[in-house]
Structure 1
Amino acid sequence: MATNHFMPENLFGHARVPQWLQGVASRWAWRDLGRVFGQADVVTAPTPRAVRLLHDNGFPPRAVPVSCGIDIDRYRLRAPVRRTDAPTVLFVGRLDEEKRVDELLRALALVPRLHAEIVGDGSCRGEWELLARDLGLTDRVKFRGFVGEEELLDAYASADVFCMPGIAELQSLATMEAMAAGKPVVVADAMALPHLCKQGRNGWLFTPGDIRGLADRLHAVTADPTVTARMGAASSELIAAHAIDSTLETFEALYAQAAGLPATPRIPALAA
């Protein structure tokens, strides 16, 4: 069995592949992936969109979606630790180009009442810290770098809304963790993120690059505490489809299928 979490776009920044070479490098990488994964009896990817990406890049139409899964109770039962009375938006992830945290910062500048916590580190951290300073956000944005597991749980519990502006997410565990913590989400309408965000129910999508649109979405979620609470509750409901036990059951069934063992009761379909 093979499971794909690969996108060439997630490597180009680290490998410093020049723009003019990225198209060729991407095609070569996908061909190589197809050659290696073609040897597997069963191939999975974490979302229907991730499966379609495999098929769009030449892999035979036999891959199936299986969520990464999440230990929901680990996030759901955490008590908030408030650092400010102002509403707070949280980002968790690598601070690399494809995550587009600069768009979150520019949107934050348009919502004066909103604070932000940025958890993670990466090649763009210094650039984005300078951008926050230039935008006059120093007193409203906290770059926390890498944090321990307990601090991360506190960050999710204490935020009012989670934002993922990245454009290369094959599922986004950070968004799932925020949903498990009962938080509304405002995420880019890109790759697999629409699988997690149901418009107007547990949050909003925004068009990548639309800074005003992102700002409006963040304001809409945080302006009214009843809306924040309602959307957070919806996130808690929607994430149930990604419980780790369901993922483990699905993988066990797929292993049995690959090994030619008697069929297990079911292979649960991944919720959209």
Structure 2
Amino acid sequence: MRVAMISMHTSPLEQPGIGDAGGMNVYVRNVASHLASHGVEVDVFTRATRASQGEVVEVEPGFRVINCVAGPFEGLAKESLPTQLTAFTGSVIAFVRAEAARRSDVPETACTRTGAGIYDLIHTHYWLSGQVGWLLRDLWGVPLVHTAHTWAAVKNLGLADGDTPEPESRRICEQQIIDNADRIIVNTDEESAAITAAYDADPERLAIVAPGVDIERFTPGSDRATERARRELGIPLRAKVIAFIGRLQMLKGPHILLRAAAEVIRRHPGQNIRVVICGGPSGTGLERPDELHDLAAELGVTGYVRFLSPRPPEELVTVYQAADIIAVPSYNESFGLVALEAQASGTPVVAARVGGLPLTVTEGESGLLVDGHDPSVWAEALEKLVIDDDVRIAMGAAAPAHAAVYSWDVTVERMQAVYDRALGDGAAESSDRVPHGVPLH
């Protein structure tokens, strides 16, 4: 099987935690890698952002990243990317047309203007890619599978203070994708119910496939490993460490953690509490990149807070192991990969009861769930685990077993089953749906 995977707005090779790179990048890279290990050839098409990237990056056998030129390499905000959908689609078609001409295993008749015959299926990620995939699906006559990661209508129901609502134009584009994709992959039952209500999605075309976690990389650390991690990060060995890992924007709620932690620090000065915030500005956070530093100063806790730059997965495990608690105060989270990685690393989680987090975190066993985003309520939840060492340690010990239920191998096995169903009943229907004004020959 050959799959054209489209991730227009961000590359799976980008560092998560910087700009628009986050959980979706982790998801796409791991899915593509594990599909390749299962014998599926995957090309991930993304927008080129640097001249030095090269057009084709061979990540591993069966998994390539194709950097497509669409607009300037730098200085193009995510909000402006819709203006480059045509350029990006044209770049994809040009590459695939040339690929069809090069490959000896593609019938000569397939070497058309569109490059039809190269791929068996298209899998798109995020709404921008979904719009591209919708066109390519009809040009190539193959099924379209879409994973949204976030939905405008769902995000707008749980905005953080100061966040900008997603535009109606995005919601309309998502509705078009819902109406035209052969399969929609969602993370949880809750996401399935939410988009059925918000977009009138057909339940028959929805497939629930939970993301996974790299349980070989994210593992519990020994006491010695924790000490070494804290030394490397400049954290006192005897401190109680509460960490946040993710993009620094209002939607992810790092300001909620800071306010709550400041309250716990005031109540318990003898507990030697430290806060670690690991990530880079993103979204609304780009407008005020020093906002969290200023908030820490305003709260009088600058000396208790350590800000770390984003780290690749092989280094990020050190942050998880150095922490006593991982806080996930997001306003919207389709699944919660950070919460899963934390538990795999043996660290309990305090998370908002939103999106997929109630599934990701087993309340009372591997962590705590908090209703709402009131800093005083969050302070009470954090306080419970900071003060009660026995409960916190027991949750940390139980957490890896919960995370082990989710693996990328299980994820891709279920995803392949979705692909097979789409190929079985969607290809013929897809080939009949030709948009007006787009020639096939």
Q: Same fold (TM over 0.5)?
A: yes
**Equivalent position amino acid for 1:166 in 2:** S
- 1:164-192 per-position Cα deviation (integer Å, ceiling 9, x unaligned): 00111101111111111111110112222
In 2, the alpha carbon distance for the partners of 1:245 and 1:219 equals 37
In 2, the alpha carbon distance for the partners of 1:188 and 1:200 equals 14
Please report how far the alpha carbon of residue 100 of structure 1 lies from its aligned counterpart in structure 2 after TM superposition: 1.5
- 1:219-261 per-position Cα deviation (integer Å, ceiling 9, x unaligned): 2112232211211122212112211111111011111222229
Please point out which of 69, 72, 76 is paired with 2:212: 69
* Conserved? CA contact 1:88–1:116, under 8 Å: yes
- Indicate whether 1:253 and 2:417 are aligned: yes
- Indicate whether 1:179 and 2:343 are aligned: yes
**Equivalent position amino acid for 1:180 in 2:** A
**Equivalent position amino acid for 2:249 in 1:** D
- Indicate whether 1:208 and 2:372 are aligned: yes
Secondary structure of 1:67 counterpart: coil
Please point out which of 202, 206, 211 is paired with 1:60: 202
In 1, the alpha carbon distance for the partners of 2:191 and 2:361 equals 16
Secondary structure of 1:156 counterpart: helix
Structure 1 gaps of 5+ residues are: 12-16, 262-272
Question: Where do residues 84-99 of structure 1 align in structure 2 (5 Å cutoff)?
Answer: 84=236, 85-99=238-252
Cα gap change, 1:164 to 1:125, in 2 (>3 Å): farther
**Equivalent position amino acid for 2:203 in 1:** P
**Equivalent position amino acid for 2:207 in 1:** V
In 2, the alpha carbon distance for the partners of 1:225 and 1:99 equals 27
Larger radius of gyration: 2
What is the TM-score of this pair, normalised by structure 2? Answer: 0.54
Please report how far the alpha carbon of residue 39 of structure 1 lies from its aligned counterpart in structure 2 after TM superposition: 2.5
**Equivalent position amino acid for 1:66 in 2:** V
Counterpart of 1:192 in structure 2 is 356
- Indicate whether 1:44 and 2:224 are aligned: no
* Conserved? CA contact 1:98–1:167, under 8 Å: yes
**Equivalent position amino acid for 2:301 in 1:** L
RMSD: 2.2
Secondary structure of 2:182 counterpart: coil
Secondary structure of 1:218 counterpart: helix
Please report how far the alpha carbon of residue 10 of structure 1 lies from its aligned counterpart in structure 2 after TM superposition: 6.5
**Equivalent position amino acid for 1:121 in 2:** G
Counterpart of 2:279 in structure 1 is 120
In 2, the alpha carbon distance for the partners of 1:168 and 1:2 equals 20
In 2, the alpha carbon distance for the partners of 1:53 and 1:35 equals 17
Counterpart of 2:149 in structure 1 is 5
- Poorly superposed stretches of 4+, deviation over 6 Å: none
Cα gap change, 1:226 to 1:252, in 2 (>3 Å): same
* Conserved? CA contact 1:48–1:64, under 8 Å: no
In 2, the alpha carbon distance for the partners of 1:155 and 1:208 equals 26
Counterpart of 1:32 in structure 2 is 173
In 1, the alpha carbon distance for the partners of 2:351 and 2:146 equals 28
Secondary structure of 1:169 counterpart: coil
Please report how far the alpha carbon of residue 198 of structure 1 lies from its aligned counterpart in structure 2 after TM superposition: 2.4
* Conserved? CA contact 2:244–2:278, under 8 Å: yes
In 2, the alpha carbon distance for the partners of 1:69 and 1:205 equals 20
Please point out which of 165, 168, 175 is paired with 2:329: 165
- Which range moved further: 134-143 or 193-202? 193-202
* Conserved? CA contact 2:242–2:274, under 8 Å: yes
- 1:197-220 per-position Cα deviation (integer Å, ceiling 9, x unaligned): 222211111122321221111121
Relative contact order higher in (CA < 8 Å, ≥ 6 apart): 1
Secondary structure of 1:107 counterpart: helix
- 1:31-59 per-position Cα deviation (integer Å, ceiling 9, x unaligned): 32121243322211122222222212122
* Conserved? CA contact 1:30–1:57, under 8 Å: no
| Count of aligned residue pairs for this structure pair | 252
Percent identical pairs in the alignment equals: 29
* Conserved? CA contact 2:163–2:251, under 8 Å: no
